[in-house]
Amino acid sequence: MMTEELKAYLFAEEKPNEAQERSLHNFIIETLGHDTEIEWEKSDKYSGGFALKIGETLYDWSTKGRLRQLRDAVTGVSASEEVIPLIKDKLSEWTPKAMAEEVGEVLTVGDGIVTISGLRHVTYGEILLFEDGTRGMALDLRPNEIGCILFDDDECIKEGSSVRRTGKTAGVPVGNAFLGRVVNALGVPIDGGGAIARTGYRPIESPAPGILDRQPVNEPLETGIVTIDSMFPIGRGQRELIIGDRQTGKTSIATDTIINQKGKGVICIYVAIGQKTSLVSRLCETLYKNGAMDYTIVVSASAADSPSLQYIAPYAGCAMGEYFMNKGQDVLIIYDDLTKHAVAYRSISLLLERSPGREAYPGDVFYLHSRLLERSAHLSDDLGGGSMTALPIVETQEGDVSAYIPTNIISITDGQIFLETDLFFAGQRPAVNVGLSVSRVGGDAQTKAMKKAAGSIRLDLAQFREMEVFTQFSTDMDESTKNQLTYGNGIMEMLKQPQNHPYTQDEEVIMLTVAQYTRFKGIAVKDVKKFIAGVTAYIKETNPNLIERINSTGRIEDIDRQDITSAADKYLARFVKSAG
């Protein structure tokens, strides 16, 4: 006989007869290698069969248990209405079997957090299924109990409810059918467009590619924003942080970058974390209007969703991106924003009674984001050569980039685009601070044409900002200083760019080349935008072969620069004359 603690308990509607008890004893001997005493308890929970519990192991042979077993065998996911037709189709060809399940018991529940006793063999990140069908994930493993976060409401979970392991880690469905759709953090469509056919299922947590699995970041991912493409180029496989105070245009830069990928074979994924549903809806409308939704997936864990869904949302979006990256495609993923992601994780950690650290964040908050962002890479040719470029967004308070979360993410990423509040309210949009922004990939992620056209524009702007500070107290300036200020003001005006209007590569190259050549002599600052738009249209009309060469080769030869400057001379004379 076994000890009293490991006695077998039989739950059924009716007490089994002697023949059935002998069969049960034989089953126990086959399973455990020895017999044990069986105690019978009447239970309505296991109708149409029985359930045999030995320690923490449950053999559920009730009607409900066998149907659940069938569902998992057919779909590999937890219950939903969409799988019922699949179950009916497979019912005739399926044979059930006695399967052991490790079960636990709910100790406490509240605020989306459940503590559970038992389940000694559960693994970190494993999906748990409660008896009412509610799903959760093991996130805190302690000696005698585990902490679980819930993906559904906790209304039906009570103290004493049973919990079973699924043996599966948290994951999301993936496939080409997700393009153009809006889904939640579990991959369930929330746009009213019906069910989505999936071709695979990926875990939300997976190891980042190793060093030998990567290759250098050397192919540009053009944003269509001349400020960024000329001075802080982003390469495919890079991680470039967009950082700034609220309402400074961070999401607008991300949206413009998505719109600019039209026709370039880049799959875009936008992950909204803790955003208002109305803002996500407005962003989707913008993408639809500009024809960008066809190659975009929107993953939304809004402010109304639980911290658990906000916590897994970026990992779910990353898993969807990895599906395409592993097929050799290029992916752009935007996390908007990781500040709210860290806050959601802090809420979960405090409810799980983890020790708080700096700013009440748990000690592993750095690992929270590093393991996410490290999954972005440019894979080696042996692995298909796909890439995933990450644009994480972080919100600062009054421009403080030295706060805990901003400094963490700055140290993880390959550069940052800093948006300044003063520039934004001064009308300089996008409000990129040239001095604090940087791309650690640099010219490796620029085409030859863009590198040559950009020239020394960043240095010129830095000198202009410095000179502007000193000359504001003086009215007596020499001609050289006046020309430098004219050119600097003209550049700042040229870099202003309307929202949802990204430039093509040829437009950016022409703008920068014309700016360096003319230096805006004789042009009022208020007329710079008009002049640049006019000369660009004039060159496109008079020299279409030049445009085609720039876009197809990514290069600009000396003869091409001569063509541009010659056209600029002609148009400048006409423009100055017409301006009076």
Question: Which residues form the catalytic set?
Answer: 440
Angle at the Cα of 209 from the Cα atoms of 206 and 212, rounded to 5 degrees: 155
Q: Is 42 exposed, middle or buried (0-12, 13-18, 19+ CB in 10 A)?
A: exposed
What's the order of all strands across the beta sheet hosting 296-301?
Answer: 182-183, 296-301, 266-273, 330-336, 387-396, 241-245, 415-419, 438-439
User: What six digits make up the tokens of 373?
Assistant: 């962002």
What residues contact 518, with CB distance under 8 A and at least 6 apart? Answer: 568, 572
Strands 50-54 and 57-60: antiparallel
Q: How is 179-227 classified by DSSP, letter by letter?
A: TT-EE-TTS-B-SSS-----SEEEES--PPP-GGGB----SB---S-HH
| Residue among 517, 157, 154, 96 nearest 306 (CA) | 154
| 3 state DSSP class of 164 | strand
User: What six digits make up the tokens of 226?
Assistant: 């001349």
Give dist(CA 526, CA 532) in Å, integer.
Answer: 11
Q: At what angle do helices 479-494 and 528-542 cross, to 10 degrees?
A: 70
Contact 96, 66 (CB under 8 A): yes
The amino acid sitting at 186 is L
Give dist(CA 300, CA 201) in Å, integer.
Answer: 19
Q: How far is Cα of residue 317 from the mean position of the Cα atoms in its chain?
A: 5
Count of CB atoms situated within 10 Å of the CB of 63: 12
Residue length of the chain: 580
| Residue among 198, 204, 200, 201 nearest 177 (CA) | 198
Contact 433, 421 (CB under 8 A): no
Contact 283, 270 (CB under 8 A): yes
DSSP label at residue 504: P
Give dist(CA 416, CA 393) in Å, integer.
Answer: 10
Q: How far apart are the first and last CA of the chain?
A: 107
What residues contact 430, with CB distance under 8 A and at least 6 apart? Answer: 225, 227, 228, 249, 252, 253, 419, 497
DSSP label at residue 274: S
